[in-house]
Structure 1
Amino acid sequence: MPRRLLAGLAVFIVTAASVPALTATAAAEPARWTLPSKEFPLGEPTAARQKHKAVAAGIDLYTVRHGKKGDGYTVSLLMKGKDSGSRANAEAAAESARAAGFPAALTEFVRPGVADFPEGTGYMARVGLWPLDQRDKAAEMVKQLKEAGISSKVDFLGDDGTQTTGPWDIRVLSVDPRVFRGSYHASLGKTVAARETTSSMAKQAGAIAAVNGGFFNIHTEKHLRGEPVGVSVVDGKLLSEAVAGRSALILKDRTARITEIRTDVTVTSADGEKTAITGVNRVAQPDELVLYTEEYGAKTPADDGAEAVLDAEGGVLELRASGGKVEPGTRVLHGTGIMADWIWSHAWEKWTVKVATKVIDLRTGKAIPLTPQTSVIGGGVGLVRNGRERVTAKADGQASVNMILRRHPRTLAGVTRSGMLLLVTVDGRRPGSTVGASMVEAARLMVWLGARQAINLDGGGSSAMIVKGKPVNRPSDGTERGVGDALLITP
């Protein structure tokens, strides 16, 4: 909110003649971007409380707080492990609890429609309602239900995604490319396979600021869970292939933009045989050809496949069985099933094979030049397009009640009309302190901030914003989580 400073009761009258002429440098200096003063878009329609801190030339950090605590706790009955489902399943769960002497009630909710996924209705069966300071009583109800053979869990009502008073605790980092003289980069840390904290990756790069990047694969072996789910380009090198059609953040020098992409990776043998490489730096599925780079940081899978070890120019140094190291300066073509046969037939030692990589912008149909200044980070869901809310949950693989409607901690990235980069963390999972945001609320927030394009990155316990080496938000795990990749702001 704008403020006026009064010095005692003195009134100063300033005439045009008394104002020194602006120098050419001062006149040309762009105005500092500030948070909107209009009503906050979530909760009660009033202005938010905000604090500002200058981080570096062109980089500003804002703390935004809004709303008040009001939601309490309930107990949700589980239906095959889920807390919501069809009306019939919810009624059956409620009736089971009533038969055991518990006053269960049916709750109907509406999951809002988004750009590529229609509105839907769901149902929950719930028992009881307790204020914020009585979570222990809700936990006691879960215990009693368990003794009666009924599965349930404690739910904070603020997580539901329906109407709430908040509160919200948000950090907004703005980077003005007209003033900032550094650059933007993606980082996977020391290796693709291992997870690292955002602050660790920021420290390695000497970054001024950083946020966590996209989602990573939690459904693979533990030592490989740093692998991005989707595209990753670091300083011009493709280190993880895209899921075609999903949203991504394209970084080059100090410019950022958001689009949908696909990747095309092929290999052509010296005998003219050409085939697709379907994966980069991930575990191979049956009948797949996967490329491993020296950044992978783990042995290739020992899966009875075949491998061709390549030098930097594509020369085949060695044919070997699967399950070996990727030495510095080399790449490894790894084939399973019929693609192992392709390697044995078309990647002979001392031959040269050509690996071609393209990242295609699906909005323009053109290839994105993979220069050393180019990085790409995959997003979880597109949020804003051309200044309007446009949540692409289905295209981005997140079309569910939990991802669209429920509130979680969020990390968001947006670009304004003037090219300003906005990085946002919305803290959550702290009842009474901050509730997080749904996908729809995240889109609304980014439009309020002035983003013309915006994307959702990984959230939950992964959400972290680092400024000058220290977290400025509060990760919901209580400490920083190791993640797959990060977006860095470097000098």
Structure 2
Amino acid sequence: MKPVRLAAAVLLLTLPLCTAALPARATAPTDASVIERIAPGIEYRAFNVATAHGPTRIHLLTVDLRRPGVRAGLLYPGAVTDREPVSAMADRQGAVAAVNGDFFNITESQHPGVPATGAPSGAAVLDGRPLKAAVPEGQRFGGALPPGASGEDVFGVGTDGRARTARLTLHGHLRTRHTALPVRGLNQYALPEGAVGLFTSQWGSASRARAVCGTDRDRAAPCSHEVFEVTIRHGRVQRTSTTPGNGPIPPGTLVALGREGGARALRSLTPGTPVETGYRLASTSRVPFAFALGAYPVLTAHQPLPGLDAVTAEPRTAVGVADSGRLLRVIATDGRESTGTGLTLAELARLLGSLGCREGVYVDGGASTTLVTRNPTTGRTTVRNTLDHGQQRRVPNGLALYGPRTRGGSG
């Protein structure tokens, strides 16, 4: 099987894929070794491309969101700080296909004694409601963003059923009769300097100690020594603490955690004080999100973003938006193993563009890259890409795809 050159050649290879809906007798790419219908409106293909650094294997899902019953949702383990293999989440949620999602707080070697939370870096929306906000850009995992991008960038599907990219900015408040404080964090592993953040029952049981470490510009900076935490139960202060807590947060309870100036402001709250809180994720999209997850933009208006890395080839997971949000291109590449070298971010953006995508985002790659599909006959979920060391990494979220007549989970 002879691979084709990425860039100009891959455009010629994939032109039959760029139509809004694949006809039943669509011409296959000349080097495609696998073409399968996963469900009505969802097709899987695998093919090789050649690059200057060697060949790599591409795993592609084409998802027609116009098809009745076809939809996308958030692959979700049940709490922000929980992690599971993609296949386990897909099985539980009844997805016919799925890929891994956002970058996450995987390690804390810079802060001895502070456990990693496992929480994603970006914002997330679950079932139309805010789940978490984005950490400061200097605190995110996943490397430097290209010029013009933001740590608040997300990919998702709106309440109109169309996929899109946008930015989600947290707006929140904490008020008493004498105090009004802005809330600048929601269920996130790192709070902005001087801020107050809220944690809900959806945070999970992980320690909140990591949220006061690092700075807005340096993830490895020391943890703050000026911290104050307030537990609010049914609208009243229940207790206070000078250290971040851990363990599950019961439904009906909020935890407000402050660092530096935020900690000083929270010290005025005492047990029994009535407190009113509120928060929302303001979107640059006019249509609200049914679900969203943090993503790294690589393609906009059919053009790769400037400044994308063109040197480092890795396994990649990406999602492209075509046909005004009615069509998804979901990609996972091999790499680090004998089946391929992976792609650079610049190559990934060109590949998405060649597939007719107007917008494209990169989510977590490397050992996290996982694409699974469900056999429509046996119901068995299979990993389609070559995994790093043959093992699925536990991840905090992902993209779930549902076909007609399949039950739906989160999203």
TM range (shorter): 0.7 to 0.9
Which consecutive unaligned segments of at least 5 residues does structure 2 have?
1-19, 138-149, 210-224, 375-380, 407-411
Matches within 5 A, 1:213-252: 213-220=101-108, 224-242=116-134, 243=136, 245-246=150-151, 247-252=153-158
Match of 2:79 in 1: 191
1:377 paired residue among 276, 293, 296: 293
Q: 1:285 to 1:386 in 2, by over 3 A?
A: closer
Q: How does 1:122-271 map to 2 (within 5 A)?
A: 163-164=52-53, 166-220=54-108, 224-242=116-134, 243=136, 245-246=150-151, 247-252=153-158, 254-271=161-178
Equivalent position to 1:483, from 395, 406, 409: 395
Deviation (angstroms), 1:266 = 3.0
The percent identity for this pair of structures is 24
Residue 309 in structure 1 maps to residue 214 in structure 2 = no
- For the 8 Å contact 2:172–2:277, the answer to whether it is kept is no
| Greater RCO, 1 or 2 (C-alpha within 8 Å, sep 6+) | 2
Deviation (angstroms), 1:463: 0.5
Question: How far has the Cα of 1:488 moved from its partner?
Answer: 0.8
Q: Is 1:296 matched with 2:219?
A: no
Query: Secondary structure at 1:199's aligned position in 2?
Result: helix
1:389 is aligned to 2:292: no
Unaligned segments of structure 1, at least 5 residues = 1-28, 39-46, 68-161, 394-402
TM-aligned CA deviation for residue 35 of structure 1: 7.8
Deviation at 1:256, TM superposition (A): 1.1
Residue 45 (structure 2) pairs with residue 62 (structure 1): yes
Query: Of 469, 472, 478, which aligns to 2:384?
Result: 472
Residues of 2 paired with 1:407 and 1:34: CA distance?
34
For residue 211 of structure 1, report the CA deviation from its aligned partner.
0.3
2:268 is paired with a residue whose SS is helix
Instruction: Report Cα offsets for 1:317-342 as digits up to 9, x if no partner.
Output: 41221425411332211123332332
- What is the CA RMSD across the aligned residues, in angstroms? 2.9
Tell me whether 452-461 or 280-289 shows the greater mean CA deviation. Answer: 280-289
Cα offset for 1:36? 7.8
What's the counterpart of residue 32 of structure 1?
Answer: 23
SS of aligned partner of 1:248? strand
TM-score, structure 1 as length reference:
0.62
User: TM-score scaled to structure 2, two decimals?
Assistant: 0.74
Deviations 1:152-190 (A, max 9, x none): xxxxxxxxxx824x3221111111112141432223413
Paired with 1:34 and 1:267, the residues of 2 have a C-alpha distance of: 58
**How far has the Cα of 1:261 moved from its partner?**
4.0
Tell me if 1:320 matches 2:240: yes
C-alpha separation between the residues in 1 aligned to 2:192 and 2:267?
18
Q: Contact 2:332–2:371 (CA<8 Å) still a contact in 1?
A: yes
Distance in 2 (CA, whole Å) between partners of 1:463 and 1:225 is 20
1:342 aligns with 2:333: no
Deviations along 1:437-465, one digit per CA (max 9) or x if unpaired, are: 01111011111111111111111111001
Return the alpha-carbon distance in structure 2 between the equivalents of residues 60 and 261 of structure 1.
Answer: 30
